[in-house]
Amino acid sequence: MIAVFDDAAIVAHALAFEAALARAQAAEGVIGADEARAIGDACTAIVIDAGVLADEAALAGTLAIPLVARLRAMLEGHAAAALHRGATSQDVADTVMMAQLRDGTALLLADADRLVGALAVLAERYARTPAIGRTLLQDALPITFGLRIAQWRSGIADAADRLRTEVIRNAALQLGGAAGTRGGHDGRGGAVARRMAADLRLAEAEPWHARRGGVCAIGAAAAILIGTCGKMARDVALLAQNGVGEAREPVIAGRGGSSAMAHKRNPTGCQVALSAAMRAPGLVAGLLAGLPAEEERGLGGWQAEAPIMADLFLLASGAVEAMAIVAEGLDVDEAEIARNLAAAGPSRDVGESAAIAAALLTSNTKG
């Protein structure tokens, strides 16, 4: 996930934007095929010191200016003039961010599948294991241990579904030009945009420079996914308490030790997910704050999104992966489960736990 959001990825997506723009414009007759080829070659051949470029971008307020300047210096006459035609810095920045979110989501969903699968196995394994259910942190009535796990799984699977849906819908190409009118394409801007979207594997959209609801929706979906991992983490950490002892994280070499207490086994995976779940809500607030963007392209709001999104996706990746490892190796102590259940009273009536868990395992679409 770090590679999805690092400087090299940003530069690669930005170069892909410029090359795809030229190809699409050539296909639509806006620029010549030779120019497009020269631009594409320059995008391939260019060697960039990402650190130096990042410094220049910070000064310029945008990556596109120094990057386009470098490319233009590699090109001659018509090709130099054809480069970046009809595009603006934000077209590049937004398209880069959306390509990153698409790639990051693919990684996240792969890890989420792994996590959801591992939880399904656990939910089946403990489908008939009675355990005391706890509400408001107090012993309540019996459940099955598998129902608890099926609830984790369902929350995470639903959240992953929402993220997938929002990304498919909103991870769109940006191509509007300076004022969002698609000027500079000889009236072929819509067709150019369609070609580019297909080329870059992004959704099509009318220019959305100052219309950021889709970005916010992706960010909120990522935060919900993080929070559902935090829910599982909270439970595992509570179950791992010495006075409870029903489940513990697996032992991983180098993980969960204490610098002061050699015997201690800390819920370090849970810590990763819970820490992410504390940071994510505020990050979403930062995205939402940018919605009232000024006029055709705003000042300060959209520029805040990319680092927030990188943080959200890195936190999500850490949380989902940590919980996948925990799920795959969860150390369940059936004797302690039975002991705690007995301590809570004689009842073994788990109601319809099994049916509910089964329903939760077959569907991601409820609740």
Residues with catalytic roles: 258, 297
- Smallest gap from residue 60 Cβ to its own copies (A): 6
C-beta of 33 vs 359, nearer to its own copies: 359
Q: 101-104 long-range contacts, Cβ below 8 Å, gap at least 24?
A: 101/167, 101/171, 101/218, 101/309, 101/313, 102/167, 102/171, 102/201, 102/202, 103/4, 103/9, 104/1, 104/4, 104/5, 104/313, 104/317
Q: How far is the CB of 200 from its own copies (least distance, A)?
A: 15
CB of 105 to its own copies, least distance (A): 16
Rounded to whole angstroms, the Cα distance separating 295 from 323 reads 43
- State which residue, 37 or 265, has the beta carbon closest to its own copies: 265
Among 134, 196, 310, 321, binds its own copies (CB under 8 A): 134
Least Å distance, CB 175 to its own copies, is 11
Taking CB under 8 A as the rule, does residue 332 contact its own copies?
A: no
33 vs 211 by CB, closer to its own copies: 211
Binding to its own copies (CB under 8 A): which residues in 32-61? 56, 59-61
Among residues 100 and 151, whose Cβ is nearest to its own copies?
A: 151
Contact 22, 35 (CB under 8 A): yes
Name which of 27 and 288 has its Cβ closer to its own copies: 288
If one asks whether residue 100 binds its own copies (CB under 8 A), the answer comes out as no
Among 9, 24, 210, 330, binds its own copies (CB under 8 A): 210
| Token pair listed for 148 | 């608890």
Q: Is 293 in the site for its own copies (CB under 8 A)?
A: yes
- Within 233-292, the residues that bind its own copies by CB under 8 A are 233-235, 237-238, 240-245, 252, 254-261, 264-268, 270-292
Toward its own copies, which CB reaches closer, 116 or 240? 240
Q: Which stretch binds its own copies (CB under 8 A): 6-14, 46-54, 102-110, 169-177?
A: 169-177
Stretch that binds its own copies, among 5-13, 35-43, 110-118, 215-223 (CB under 8 A): 215-223
In angstroms, what is the minimal distance from the CB of 272 to its own copies?
Answer: 7
* CA 41 – CA 7 distance, rounded (Å): 21
| DSSP character string of 2-36 | HHHHSHHHHHHHHHHHHHHHHHHHHHTTSS-HHHH
Q: How far apart are CA 280 and CA 274, in angstroms?
A: 10
Q: Contact with its own copies (CB under 8 A): which of 139, 199, 328, 333?
A: 139
Neighbours of 163 (CB within 10 A): 27
Rounded Cα gap, residues 85 and 104, in angstroms:
29
For residues 105 and 167, give the distance between their C-alpha atoms in angstroms, rounded to a whole number: 8
Question: Site map for its own copies, 177-206, x if CB under 8 A?
Answer: xxxxxxxxx-x-xx------------xxxx
Alpha carbons 72 and 75: distance in angstroms, whole number: 5
**Residue 172 DSSP SS3:** strand
71 to 90, contacts with its own copies by CB under 8 A? 84, 87-89
147 lies in the binding site for its own copies (CB under 8 A): yes
Q: Is 22 in the site for its own copies (CB under 8 A)?
A: no
Distance CA 349, CA 148 (A): 15
Which of 207, 137, 150 minimizes the C-alpha distance to 366?
Answer: 150
Interacting residues with its own copies between 304 and 323 (CB under 8 A)? 304, 307-308, 311
The number of residues making up the chain comes to 367
